[in-house]
Amino acid sequence: MNYYSLHHKSPKTTFKNAVIEGLAKDRGIYFPESITPLSKDFIENISEYSNHEIAFEAIKQFVGDEIPETKLKEIIAETVSFDFPVVPVDENIGTLELFHGPTMAFKDVGAKFMAKCLEYFNNDNDDEVTVLVATSGDTGGAVANGFLGAKGVNVVILYPSGKVSDIQEKQLTTLGQNITALEVDGVFDDCQDMVKTAFLDEEIERTLTSANSINVARWLPQMFYFFFAYKQLHKQHKDIIFSVPSGNFGNICAGIMAQKLGLPVKHFVASTNVNDTVPNFLVDGVYKPKPSKATISNAMDVGNPSNFIRIQELFNNNLETLKSAFSSYSFTDDETRETMKKIYNNSGYIADPHGAVGYLGLKKHGLLENEYGVFLETAHPVKFLDIVEETLPVKVEIPEQIQKVINNKKVATKIATYKDLKSFLER
């Protein structure tokens, strides 16, 4: 499998090189040269396959022969090591819980898969790779956990000061070993811009790669749980609509990839907070990125989502074709809080702010009588403890995964500019 840059000014490259480089030399993100649908027989009989077998079938064409099948299956077994249940919330709405992994966020899947791929590629190489990643919340913790102790890999995580939750901050600043946290005086987009600039800075002698969803090995495995949800639902529900809380748009883009592989999804809804670049684009066809705004659903505080260009590519950059299969709506913090209350009062289910935005997207889009809506619950409510307990009459129990880090001491280096980042990387 070859990959090409969506800026179309860099040569094609292999899966291995795309993983190690993260971003093409022309600053474009990589996209697979071809997408071959899975067999109809496999889709129709998906209930007969284990989650590991489903994940292998979904990803193998994108890896090709660059990782042996036995090793790829081993990586998948280590990646898909927890449950992905669909939990009923309303009569025709369920939530796909993606928070049962080690850091209690959906990004555990992509982070672990990428870490294991990079470790494999670096196994016979004495040179070290530096994974440089920007986070608006959950990516940092998932990447820190996924890469902890990985041979030949150092991880540098940039996060916006004061704009991640306390628990998210503990997860990315307390592990030590090969993990370093940089606390940036700015917003997520500043962190992401610094990372992209560093990749193209020829004066930096380190080998850099990214663990954000711009990296194909972080992005593509997110297809898995759309297949897992379909496996649970397809015998009862034929017309499934997914609503995905969306920030950098990697998650929903992976869902659309699953659809291109043959997964029967009727429609996708990208639900955003007030960072409404994509909802506005669907209205007027003009893509106008803007500085991100801080919200209670901070993992979605992205004003210029990197993966939207991939979504456009999947629909041949045709706006009308895109709109036939994809909708996007924006919601305020007040609407989010009210929806958290509504969900809890109606069903007793405790949704985090991101899940509540996903639920709002389904309601805004509307469901026909024969349709079943699934919103993604991308993080455990404990990750946003203050907001949840301020909004709902509940006391959230602290899971074991969080108890391990909650009392650890934060260690982070403060930076403000790209010059600060470059100085740190040149040490």
Q: 69-105+219-399 adopts what CATH topology?
A: Rossmann fold (3.40.50)
Q: How far apart are the first and last CA of the chain?
A: 36
Question: Percentage of residues in the chain with pLDDT exceeding 70?
Answer: 100
Q: What is the pLDDT of residues 315-356, one digit of tens each?
A: 999 999 999 999 999 999 999 999 999 999 999 999 999 999
Q: What is the pLDDT of residues 271-285, one digit of tens each?
A: 999 999 999 999 999
Nearest 5°: phi and psi at 273? -85, -155
Residues 246 and 271: their CA atoms lie apart, in Å, by 6
More confident residue, 18 or 153: 18
Catalytic-role residue among 40, 60, 107, 288: 107
Nearest 5°: phi and psi at 372? -120, 125
Give the Å distances, CA to CA, from 136 to 28, 99, 292, 380, 386. Answer: 21, 17, 10, 16, 17
Residues 230 and 263: their CA atoms lie apart, in Å, by 8
Nearest to 328 by CA among 296, 284, 291, 371: 284
Does the pLDDT of residue 35 top 80, yes or no? yes
Is 107 assigned a catalytic role?
yes
Q: What is the pLDDT of residues 105-135, one digit of tens each?
A: 898 999 899 989 988 988 777 678 888 888 8
Q: In the prediction, which pLDDT does 406 show?
A: 81
Cross-sheet strand order for the sheet of 30-32: 13-14, 2-5, 30-32
267 confidence band (pLDDT: 50, 70, 90): very high
Three-state SS letters, 148-177: CCCCCEEEEEEEECCCCCHHHHHHHHCCCC
Nearest to 303 by CA among 273, 333, 326: 273
Question: Percentage of residues in the chain with pLDDT exceeding 90?
Answer: 70
Token readout for 300 is: 């979605």
Token readout for 39 is: 């067999």
Does the pLDDT of residue 159 top 80, yes or no? yes
Residues 41 and 94: their CA atoms lie apart, in Å, by 26
Cα angle 144, 397, 363 (rounded to 5 degrees) comes to 85
User: For all residues of the chain together, what is the average pLDDT?
Assistant: 93
The beta strands (E) that lie in 127-232 are given as: 129-134, 153-160, 179-184, 207-210
136 confidence band (pLDDT: 50, 70, 90): confident
